[in-house]
Copies of this chain bind each other. A is one copy, B any other.
Amino acid sequence: MGIADLDGNKLLDVYAQIASIPVGYNNPHLKEVAQSPEMITSLINRPALGNFPSADWSHILKTGILRAAPKGLDQVFTAMAGSDANETAYKAAFMYYRQLQRGGPEVEFTAEELESTMNNKGPGSPQLSILSFKSAFHGRLFGSLSTTRSKPIHKLDIPAFDWPQATFPQLKYPLEEHVQENAAEEKRCLEEVERLIKEFHNPVAAVMVEPIQSEGGDNHASPAFFQGLRDITKRNKVLFIVDEVQTGVGATGKFWAHDHWNLSSPPDMVTFSKKAQTAGYYFGNPALRPNKPYRQFNTWMGDPSRALIFRGIIEEVERLNLVENTRTTGDYLYAGLESLAQKYPEHFQNLRGKNQGTFIAWDTPKRDEFLVKAKTVGVNIGGSGAQAVRLRPMLVFQKHHADILLESLEKIVKLV
């Protein structure tokens, strides 16, 4: 479960390998999956999935990754980890954008495109962009890092694309005391997004956003903000990509965090990794499939072993009703944190994540010391941004774990 045994001492793990363990350590069902004949074959006979998918690959996808697909998105491109999941989604967006400009999938590339792309120049390699948000984190390879705006240390010395960033709403807490102010902030940010889409010198092919900025400090926005992004992107014929690498697979009390938004139409793509233990992007529109073979391709295109583990995770989530568990445990935990915040207001500032399952965070002045002291009382806990403590327990986290955590937090504030 969420408690690892270290030489007889218990450690409560609410960081969970950077938010990537969903159904506990040593989960018995996953252990069965790991010993299954399918798993052994996938480990020792790893296929090049794009060319030689195994006979059961389609079945594995249908009963696994695709069974968890967000509403309206019934197709998937499989990848290895969050960064390449995001980058292949960006590639799909660029191909789609140019296809629209060109007039459809059947229009052939021009001689000039074919020649210029071999020199990394337009029109074949066009200067298009992905719009992301300040404080966003979308990965660390060259394309994804160009959309990451979390901390300088993630970006320094690495060449980046000239792509635009918009301001992510900086909400004030408690939310109920800042309703108008926060609405105005979100409106201002949406206007900035639309202005950048219309005016940025490298045309925007897609807007990329996290439901909760997870590395950047646990920054939340309202469903209305995200509906606004959906409207703006649609109006401007720009794709809307939701990065659910950290928020996906149950942690917010919905299977996908964007399920909280009740969008009028689904995102164009949703990327995933971490708790899925595999990675990729979901999409719905068939026009997002490349119009020719070998445009989106690589040797492995994911890993069936990890796809089998995700299937096992989905089965456990369903069997144990873990999304519901995370929702109710999260509500319970949030209430306990509210009490702590009343008692120790200086240590628990800007508590956030209400009704977001266990995806809860707060700011604390001596944050780094707080994280270190936590280990001394048996809690493994992480930070995000400059000041936040972020909770990322597993989906199997229950009320009695929450009680241990709340007691421990009180001990920690007395130590820092």
Partner-B contacts on A (CB < 8 A): 17-18, 20-21, 25-27, 30-31, 33-35, 39-41, 43-48, 51-52, 80-84, 87-88, 90-91, 94-95, 97-99, 109, 113-115, 117-121, 124-129, 134, 139-144, 146, 149, 151-163, 165, 202, 273-274, 277, 292, 294-295, 297-300, 303, 305-306, 309
Contacts and interface: CB of A to CB of B under 8 A. Distances in A.
A117 B306 CA distance: 35
Nearest to A122: B159
Contacts of A162: 120-121
A43 B20 contact: no
A309 B159 contact: no
A139 B115 CA distance: 19
B45 A118 contact: no
B142 A43 contact: no
A239 to B, nearest CB: 13
A159 B159 contact: no
A17 B44 contact: no
Given A141-B142, A155-B117, A163-B120, A26 B45 contact: yes
A109 B163 contact: no
Nearest to A153: B294
29 contacts: A17-B47, A21-B46, A26-B44, A26-B45, A27-B44, A31-B40, A33-B43, A34-B40, A34-B44, A43-B305, A80-B84, A81-B298, A81-B300, A83-B84, A83-B298, A91-B140, A94-B157, A94-B158, A97-B157, A98-B156, A118-B134, A118-B155, A125-B156, A125-B157, A125-B158, A125-B159, A140-B298, A141-B141, A153-B294
Contacts of A35: 35, 40
A141 to B, nearest CB: 5
Contacts of A20: 46, 48, 299-300
B309 A124 contact: no
A124 B299 contact: no
A32 to B, nearest CB: 10
Contact of A46 (B48, B90, B277): B277
Contact of A34 (B39, B157, B158, B202): B39
A18 B51 contact: yes
Q: Which of A83, A117, A297 has the most CB of B within 10 A?
A: A117
Contacts of A141: 83-84, 87-88, 141-143
A146 B160 contact: no
A167 to B, nearest CB: 12
Contacts of A47: 17
Nearest to A139: B298
Q: List 4 A-B pairs, minimum CB-CB distance, nearest first.
A: A142-B143, A120-B160, A125-B160, A17-B48
Contact of A17 (B25, B273, B299): B299
A147 B25 CA distance: 40
A153 B292 contact: yes
Given A17-B47, A34-B40, 15 more contacts: A17-B299, A18-B299, A21-B45, A21-B46, A30-B44, A81-B298, A81-B299, A82-B298, A90-B142, A91-B158, A99-B157, A125-B156, A140-B297, A142-B144, A305-B305
B294 A152 contact: no
Contact of A159 (B25, B161, B303): B161
Contacts of A18: 48, 51, 299
Given A45-B21, A309-B43, A295 B156 contact: yes
A88 B80 CA distance: 15
A295 B145 CA distance: 12
Given A91-B158, A163-B120, A292-B153, A43 B34 contact: yes
